[in-house]
Amino acid sequence: MKNIVILISGRGSNMEAIVRACRDEAWPARIAAVVSNRPDAAGLQFAADHGIATAVVDHRQHASREAFDAELARVIDGLAPDVVVLAGFMRILTPGFVQHYAGRLLNVHPSLLPAFPGLHTHQRAIEAGCKVAGATVHHVTPELDHGPIVIQAAVPVLPGDTPQQLAERVLALEHQIYPRAVRWAVEGTLRLHGGVVTQTEGEPQLVMAPQA
Ligand code: NHR
Ligand code: GAR
């Protein structure tokens, strides 16, 4: 049994998708805990309701990013994690933290990286006149939103889209690609060569939105 630890900051809908896939597809893994940096994260309730251990490491209670990350790593390491999953986790992590979990730390980012690293991705994609947007699951490296790409999903940007409408369309596909990527990490079917990730069983690493 592999141990998955999921880090959230808010709603936790990607966390929910991973919890459901782990259970419904009977992965050889368990969700060891859901950890939030915000005590009021809505996703903590879902986890508790599903019998999953929860923990809060409040960044506001720590004087520096290093101190916060040290406490976060102490809590996570107590869970013997094989895979650590950032699911709407909103704190930039220090290089030391990232190195400690190198190769077992994944993030979902709501853009087609390398376009639009950082925040407010949907608004930026609309303002740039992009006709396609999407989401990326990547290995986390010290440089923000620049790690090797595991899987991407593409959706159209429709005329008149608001950032909220686009976010909703992207999120629906995040819920497809993120559980798939975490399953691959659990199975050990990802290989990294020269910054490029391949899935050893040839499963698709691209999902396109169904045509409207
Ligand atoms: N840490 C590292 N080192 N590398 C990455 O690739 C990371 C990371 C931490 C989080 C998620 C990322 C995203 O998917 C992620 C990737 C937060 C911010 C941010 O600016 C940016 C990107 C991401 C997450 N956070 C502010 C901060 O000062 C706080 C914002 C807030 O609390 O609302 O940490 O987009
Ligand atoms: C998701 O769209 C995720 O890609 C994004 O926040 C949302 C979280 O939703 N992540 C970031 O913007 C990270 N900076 P969720 O809490 O319902 O999974």
| Beta-sheet strands, E only, within the chain | 2-8, 29-36, 54-56, 83-86, 105-109, 132-139, 149-156, 190-193, 196-199, 206-208
Superfamily the domain 108-212 falls into? Formyl transferase, N-terminal domain (3.40.50.170)
| CA 52 – ligand 2 centroid, Å | 20
Q: pLDDT value at position 72?
A: 98
Would you place residue 98 in the very low, low, confident or very high pLDDT band (cuts 50, 70, 90)? very high
Q: pLDDT value at position 212?
A: 61
Closest-CA residue, ligand 2 atom 11, reads: 88
pLDDT digits (tens, 9 = 90+) for 3-18: 999 999 999 999 999 9
**Mean of the per-residue pLDDT values for the chain?**
97
pLDDT digits (tens, 9 = 90+) for 116-170: 999 999 999 999 999 999 999 999 999 999 999 999 999 999 999 999 999 999 9
The pTM score is 0.97
Q: Is 149 touching ligand 1 by the criterion CB < 6 Å? A: no
**Which phi and psi (to 5°) does residue 150 adopt?**
-95, -45
* C-alpha pair distances (Å), 207 with each of 75, 151, 152, 185, 194: 34, 8, 6, 18, 23
Tokens found for residue 53: 């251990």
Would you place residue 187 in the very low, low, confident or very high pLDDT band (cuts 50, 70, 90)? very high
Residue of 90, 104, 146, 149 to test ligand 1 pocket, by largest number of atoms within 8 Å of CB = 90
Q: Does 211 score more than 90 pLDDT? A: no
Closest-CA residue, ligand 1 atom 4, reads: 144
- Asked if the domains 1-101 and 108-212 are classified in one and the same CATH topology, the answer is yes
Would you place residue 184 in the very low, low, confident or very high pLDDT band (cuts 50, 70, 90)? very high
| CA 110 – ligand 2 centroid, Å | 7
The C-alpha angle 66, 68, 72, rounded to 5 degrees, equals 115
Marked catalytic residue, from 59, 109, 122, 146 = 109
Distance from C-alpha of 187 to C-alpha of 76, rounded to nearest angstrom: 20
Respond yes or no: is residue 109 known to be catalytic: yes
Among 3.40.50.300, 1.10.150.530, 3.40.50.170, 3.20.20.450, name the CATH number for the domain at 1-101: 3.40.50.170
Would you place residue 182 in the very low, low, confident or very high pLDDT band (cuts 50, 70, 90)? very high
Would you place residue 210 in the very low, low, confident or very high pLDDT band (cuts 50, 70, 90)? confident
The structural domains of the chain, with segments of one domain joined by +, span 1-101, 108-212
Beta bridge partners of 155: 133
Minimum-distance ligand to the CA of 135?
A: 2
pLDDT average, residue stretch 189-212? 94
Amino acid identity, position 20: R
Distance from C-alpha of 91 to C-alpha of 35, rounded to nearest angstrom: 13
Q: Is 35 touching ligand 1 by the criterion CB < 6 Å? A: no
